[in-house]
Structure 1
Amino acid sequence: MSITQQHLLDAYRARQHDEPAPPAPGAHDWQVVREWRDERQFRAVLAGRPARHRFRVALNRWRRRPT
């Protein structure tokens, strides 16, 4: 059974029991990614490391290099 079929079945069952439908698959993916990033930054601060984005640091280093 695919995730879409499972979602449709869950929505049908919720409707039969007068309950709110579950969120669609993937509806909260970006929120999970943001929370994971925030947790990583928090743990970096606790460990005494700077809470910067590695990509941003690498981009700034590339921008500042002499030509």
Structure 2
Amino acid sequence: MNAIQQHMLDLYVAARTDTAPPPRPGDHDLRVLREAPVHRRVLAVFAGRRTGDPAAGAGRASC
């Protein structure tokens, strides 16, 4: 089953169950690509690694 067939099946199920229809395939691709670097930086911070972002420590006061 390809993405279009799955989308058509999901639309049918949504119509039968009175739920919101799913977004079309590919609608959020650009947004996901734009957010990928941010997601990698967040994962690096959680893992305790440096992010390589010079602005990351800009808000900290140096003693």
Choose which of 27, 34, 47 in structure 1 pairs with 2:50. 47
Contact 2:41 2:51 (C-alpha < 8 Å) held by counterparts: no
Which structure 1 segments of 5+ residues have no match? Answer: 52-67
User: How does the TM-score come out when normalised to structure 1?
Assistant: 0.59
Mapped partners of 1:37, 1:48: distance in 2: 10
Instruction: In structure 2, list runs of 5 or more residues that go unmatched.
Output: 55-63
Greater Cα radius of gyration, structure 1 or 2: 1
* RMSD after superposition: 2.2
Corresponding pairs, count: 50
**2:13 counterpart of 1:8:** no
> Equivalent pairs: percent with the same residue?
38
List 4+ stretches of structure 1 deviating above 3 A.
Answer: 40-44
Where does 1:1-67 land on structure 2 (aligned, <5 Å)? 1-41=1-41, 43=44, 47=50, 49-50=52-53
Partners of 1:14 and 1:39 in 2: how far apart?
A: 31
- String of CA shifts for 1:1-58, please: whole Å, max 9, x gaps: 11101100100110011111001111111111111122345549x615246xxxxxxx
